Structures are given as structure tokens and as C-alpha cells.
Structure 1
Amino acid sequence: MTEEAPREQQLYVHYHDGGVPGRRRVLTGKAAKQTFTALPRIDMRRLFSDELEDRQELAREVGAACRDVGFFYAVNHGVPEEALGDTFDAVRRFFELEESVKMECHNQKSQKFRGYEAFLEGKLDPSTRGDLKEGFLMGEDATDPEQNRPVTPLTVEPRNQWPSSPEASFFRPAIYAYYNHMLSFSKRMLRIFALALDKPEHHFDAISTTPMTNIRAVHYPPQQSDADIGIGAHTDFCWFTLVCQSHTAVPALEVLNHNGIWVPVYPESNSFVVNIGDFLKLVTGGTWQSTVHRVRNMGGEERYSMPFFFSPNEDGRVSVLEQFRKEGETYEEIVVGEYFQKRLDVDRTTHIEGEGDGQTKRRAYI
């Protein structure tokens, strides 16, 4: 029997899981569990095969990664490398614009927190001065003609904000080009997830006809201090996330394994980092991992990231799938949009100083 360290000597990692603060003990030596130390790489070419057996084989690999890690690299995903490069160029150009141009669509003007988020305004880790990043969030919006979505009483109001300055005219078309690629890939991935859960490929289609989707372009400057964090430790509140990250010599994205050890996610050219979100953890009764992750950009380089978040329809209802239910337990249905908004309210809490006069006061990030 392994002796535990005295409680005052035990180390813990703190994070947000499902919007609720949590912690995980750091396990070393004889106390350590068998867990992952790197992310698996999965060849996605079978995603486009006409043979069901090929797609089922892919689904088995995906399912194992979702159970054991909650993260994996998707390689040979079919999105042109040139398209990814063009999007990164546009994202860099946007974040280099004058602050006044970006602040025109500040996310505090939007109920859905769409638009521009400035440095230190998010704060997932309360022990820090704020998340050392700036970002731009867009998502499903029936009033954006690029999305060709039906306008309903639920979707009649505009949700996205876009800069109107001519200097930023390149940004919206570039983001939508990326959006269309990622949406197409995500719909195929959803069917692989269904197969991985021993369901027909189209099992989730009915609740994903008008899915909730987001792109969050993010710029992380080099951190000057270990006390800073690019974004605090958290889980994602979606079905799944596809992350395209710029190349840096020192990896900035880190995922938390079962021993409380941070595992670096090295940038790989023309690959997506795929991770499971809270909804897929929910419907699998916790069998699939919505893995805690964070960003610490300590390599002295500018870093850019373009996560794409995919979730069911806003009015969709999800619950634990039958094969994961335990006898005698009661399982509630969750309305996707309601849960999403609650998590958004928690994770996008800002720490802006002095808004009473309508003028947002800003703090320097260096």
C-alpha cells in the first residue's frame, strides 16, 4: 500500500471543468497512474472513403483516443494547406490593426460575447492578472448572408460583430473561407463520433441541422513571467473543438493527464488538434474525456490559434446515451443553448476597470 504525502505537502493543479472550479492532485512515483504522455496521431484520409469499413476503422481509433486522452492530432484532414496559411495571414493582419479599429466591435457590446476581446479581459485562472491574449469570436448567425441559415424567432437578431473600417475589409471574407472548410470537416467528424459510439453514422444529424459553431481567432504574445497565463486551465463547452495553431519552437498548448502533469502539444504543420468538449463527455456518461487544457506561451514568439467549436442545434436536447446509463439512476435532458450561455457567462467574465462613463479603461499587458 502506497503511503500518501501529508496533505500539506500534496500538490494540486486547479482548473475550470464544466464551468465549476476543480483540482487534480499531482501524482508522482509509486502513486502515479498509467496515463498518456503524448497525443495520438490519427490519419483522417479514411474519413472520405466510400467504404463503411474504412470509416468504422477510423472510428475505432477516434473512440480510443476520446476515452483515453480526449485529444488527438487529425492529419491528412483534407483542408488545403494554402487555405490555412491564408487564414493565419489574415488573423495576424487583424491583430496588428490599430486598437480603435478592433475595439469598434468589442465583445462587451454583444450578448453572445462576439467580436474583439482585449488583453487581460478574460480571467479563467483567478490567481493571475488575467488571460494574456487578445481574440476575436464569431459564430452561427442567421443574419450573416454567408451562412445561408433560416431566420427563426430564435435567430432573428444579429449575433456577430464585424469591423467596418476599410483597413479591416480583408478579415470577414478570410474568416468565412476558413469557417466553411471547418464546418464541412466537422459534419464528417460528427458521423465518425457516432460510429465510435456504436451508433449509425447519421445518429446525431437530427440535432445538428443548424449547429452552434464558433471560430475564435487568438493572439498570444510572448509571456514575460511564469506568473502569467495565455488562457487559464479549462474544458471546452461544445461537442468538440478543432484547433489549428501556428508553429512555435516551444509548444504553448498543454493538456492535463490523469497524474496532474501538463503534456505539451507540439505544433504540427497542416494538422488539427481535436479535443472533446463537455457535451460529448455528458452523452457518454463521462466515458469520453473533456480534457483540461491551458496555454502558456513561454518560447519568446508570437503565437496564433484558430479553434473551431462545433455543438448541436441551440434548441437541441441531449442526455446520456442508453448504453452509458446505470440502472436506478435518473438522467435529465440539457438544452444545448441554455447550457452554452451559462458556460459563456462564466468563461467570458471580464475584468475591465471602470465602465461607468461608457468609456472602457484599459490596462497595459506588458
Structure 2
Amino acid sequence: MLITETETETYVYYHDGGIPGRRRVLTGATAKQTFNAVPKIDMRRIYSESLSDRQSLAKEVGAACRDVGFFYAVNHGVDEALLDDTFAAIKQFFDLPEEVKMEVHNQKTEKYRGYEAFLEGKLDPGTRGDLKEGFLMGEDATDPEQNTPITPSTAKPRNQWPTHPSTTFFRPALYRYYTAMLSFSRRLLRIFALALDLPETHFDPITTTPMTNIRAVHYPPQSRDEDVGIGAHTDFCWFTLVCQSPTAHPALEVLNGNGHWIPVPFHPSSFVVNIADFLKLVTGGTWASTVHRVRNMGGEERYSMPFFFSPNEEARVSVLEGFRREGERYEEFGVGEYFQRRLEVDRTTHLDKEGEGVVRRPYI
């Protein structure tokens, strides 16, 4: 959202690390050198047995992470038919009656897993809410599909799955996508390590049971310019992979250093990858957790399937040695605690219970 502060200065407002921020819009002589497009990187080398191939890929990835914070992962190798099937499944789910979806409303779980209805999120306080509906699932040792050992801290179910007979297709479809994206993410994490001049396996010890999420999202066409699909924000994970449905008009936008919104249109056989808060923090701000938003102004239904990857919930991380400044102290922070705090900032639905039903209160 743009708000004019004076006759000569305009600012963009957003959430960065869960904290409200702003950036001045620079034009003409005041503009600085920044990106005007999201780079495309051919990912076929991620599967190469040659270390030099993976290192050359890491060099490109590292430059994109420093200069932009976003890149297209082109030729990612994940089966396109699987992606098409997943999009068909999430569209079928969102087309279901609201009462079927509301069985698994996200406010029923501590981790906010399940269904989020239209306008329940509100990252930009200047709007009436995020014009989207979504479904969130993630790491859950009690889901047998994940084949993860159950410990005292993971014995409580985290995911919610609908039980209505019309929804039986949904869970298997999301798990096929989850498995493919987790496998690709582990490969990508090693490329990130190389890009940071670390051994490929450097992050393996803190990602044995990573925090992971799929957030299936449906954005209807926007009819009002003041609306937003999701407000301007940064992601609170290690990195995000976004698979977006093809639309003629780009809806995803990223904010460059001059405060200008840069479109990120659909590109075939690609994921949109963005660096999130944890990688920004451990690189001392050298890698960019870039502000982004969605405005679906093209008159089409849009679907998106971001996959979020983070370290283990119990992991503690700090600024990497190679990014520390002499004489400064660097504290560790707990991954799970930070993640939960951000969840509570971003999921602001208010609910009243009436009898056996759930009634949503409008935003004030």
C-alpha cells in the first residue's frame, strides 16, 4: 500500500520479520542501482554428480540471493504431471462448500494448520484483509505418510485433514507434492551451503527433521484496486519455493531497493524461490529476505502452492562465522520459538463459538 507522507515523498509499507516497516519510493536522480526483474537460473546442475557443476550453480544462486532475494528455479526436475494434479486437487478442494472446509479451520490448532477463509489474514492494516483462502499443512510425526519417529515433543497431531467423503482425494494429492518438494528442497539447501562457501552438508545436522509447510492458496480476481491478495511481507522460514498457476497477468510482486513493485509472472517448468528471514539472519543481512505481495488484478482465478523449509524446530542458529564483524556479539535464537511468534503475528482471525458451529467476527 502506498501512502504519501509529504508532497515529495511516498512510502511503501510492509511487514519485515513480523515488524512493520516502510521504504521510500525513489525515482529520477534519487534512485539507486537495484534489480528490475527476477533472474532465471537453470537448475539441471543440481542433479549433477560433478562438484564443479554444483559449485557453478551455487555461484549463480548466491548472486541472486545477495542482489535480489528471489530467483526462478528453471528446469527443476519435479514431475510436471504431479504439479498439474496437485493444482487440480487444490482447486477441487477450494470449490467445496464452506461448511466442509470449515471443519478444519486453522484456529483449531496451535500451529494454525488447516483452512483459512477469505479476509481472515490481514498483513496490511490499511486493507480490509487478505483476499484469499488457504490450507496449511506441515511437519507432523503422527501422519504416517511422513515416516518420522514420534518423540514426546512431536506426539501431538499438528495437521488437520477434512473427513467429509467428498475430500478423500485431497490428502494423498498434497502428500505427493509434499514429498517431491521436500526432496528438491534438501538438494537446494546444499546449493545454498556451497553459495555461502561452506561444505555442502553444513546445514544437514540442523535439518534432520525440518520444519516444513505447504500452503495451498486460492486468490480470486480482485475488483477493487485497494484490495490485496496478501499484504506486503517477508517469509519467516529458511526459504520458500512457490509453484504458481499460469495466469496472463502477473499477481506476485517483489519490492526492489527503490520501493518499486517488480512483477513475477508465471514461467513454465519453474519454481519461484525466495530467501526468508532465517537465511537473512544467519548471513548477517547479506542475503536478502525480500518483501513481496500478491495483487490478482488480471481477472483470473489464481492458485499458488508455496513450500516453506526451515531448520529443525529445536535448532538454535546464529550468524555464520564468515559473516560476523569483529568486536560484535551475536546471540543464538531458537528456530521453533521464532517461527511460532511469527505465526501468531500473521494469523489474526478472531473466532466466537456458538453451539457446535464456528462464527467469524469481522475485523474492527
TM (norm. structure 1) is 0.96
Match of 2:273 in 1: 274
Contact 1:122 1:351 survives alignment (8 Å): no
Q: Are residues 351 and 249 of structure 1, via their aligned partners in 2, closer, same or farther at CA, if it must alter by over 3 Å?
A: farther
Match of 1:297 in 2: 296
* Distance apart, 1:253 and its partner CA: 0.2
Contact 1:77 1:271 survives alignment (8 Å): yes
Q: State the secondary structure of the residue aligned to 1:42.
A: strand
Q: Which amino acid aligns with 1:106?
A: H
Contact 2:280 2:289 survives alignment (8 Å): yes
Q: Which amino acid aligns with 1:164?
A: T
Match of 1:24 in 2: 23
Contact 1:123 1:351 survives alignment (8 Å): no
Separation (CA, whole Å) in 2 of partners of 1:181 and 1:102: 25
Match of 1:168 in 2: 167
Separation (CA, whole Å) in 1 of partners of 2:272 and 2:165: 33
Match of 2:179 in 1: 180
Question: Is 1:360–2:354 an aligned residue pair?
Answer: no
Q: State the secondary structure of the residue aligned to 2:211.
A: strand
Contact 1:117 1:134 survives alignment (8 Å): yes
Match of 1:71 in 2: 70
- The number of equivalent residue pairs is 360
Separation (CA, whole Å) in 1 of partners of 2:264 and 2:228: 16
Q: Report 1:223-262 matches (<5 A).
A: 223-262=222-261
Separation (CA, whole Å) in 2 of partners of 1:319 and 1:363: 40
Separation (CA, whole Å) in 1 of partners of 2:285 and 2:134: 30
* Distance apart, 1:270 and its partner CA: 1.9
Separation (CA, whole Å) in 2 of partners of 1:209 and 1:158: 19
Separation (CA, whole Å) in 2 of partners of 1:169 and 1:233: 34
What is the RMSD of the two structures over their aligned residues, measured on CA atoms?
1.6
Q: State the secondary structure of the residue aligned to 1:131.
A: coil
Instruction: Map Cα deviations across residues 270-294 of structure 1 (whole Å, 9 max, x no partner).
Output: 2100000000000000000000000
Separation (CA, whole Å) in 2 of partners of 1:71 and 1:311: 17
Match of 1:340 in 2: 339
Q: State the secondary structure of the residue aligned to 2:359.
A: coil
Instruction: Map Cα deviations across residues 149-174 of structure 1 (whole Å, 9 max, x no partner).
Output: 11111111000000001100000000
Contact 2:116 2:135 survives alignment (8 Å): yes
Question: Is 1:40–2:49 an aligned residue pair?
Answer: no
* Distance apart, 1:9 and its partner CA: 2.7
Q: Are residues 76 and 355 of structure 1, via their aligned partners in 2, closer, same or farther at CA, if it must alter by over 3 Å?
A: same
Contact 1:222 1:298 survives alignment (8 Å): yes
Separation (CA, whole Å) in 1 of partners of 2:361 and 2:319: 44
Q: Which amino acid aligns with 2:359?
A: K
* Distance apart, 1:8 and its partner CA: 4.8
Question: Is 1:124–2:123 an aligned residue pair?
Answer: yes
Separation (CA, whole Å) in 2 of partners of 1:301 and 1:23: 30
Question: Is 1:56–2:55 an aligned residue pair?
Answer: yes
* Distance apart, 1:128 and its partner CA: 0.6
In the alignment, structure 1 segments of 5+ residues that lack a partner are none
Contact 2:69 2:275 survives alignment (8 Å): yes
Structure (1 or 2) with the greater strand fraction: 2
Q: State the secondary structure of the residue aligned to 1:258.
A: coil
Q: Which amino acid aligns with 1:163?
A: P
Instruction: Map Cα deviations across residues 29-65 of structure 1 (whole Å, 9 max, x no partner).
Output: 0000111110000000000000000000000000000
Separation (CA, whole Å) in 1 of partners of 2:284 and 2:353: 42
Contact 2:350 2:360 survives alignment (8 Å): no
Separation (CA, whole Å) in 1 of partners of 2:353 and 2:225: 30
Question: Is 1:316–2:328 an aligned residue pair?
Answer: no
Separation (CA, whole Å) in 1 of partners of 2:266 and 2:94: 21
Separation (CA, whole Å) in 2 of partners of 1:215 and 1:93: 17
Match of 1:80 in 2: 79
Separation (CA, whole Å) in 1 of partners of 2:260 and 2:68: 13
Contact 1:65 1:71 survives alignment (8 Å): yes
Q: State the secondary structure of the residue aligned to 1:360.
A: strand
Q: Which amino acid aligns with 2:22?
A: R
* Distance apart, 1:186 and its partner CA: 0.1
Contact 1:44 1:77 survives alignment (8 Å): yes
Question: Is 1:105–2:115 an aligned residue pair?
Answer: no
Contact 1:120 1:351 survives alignment (8 Å): no
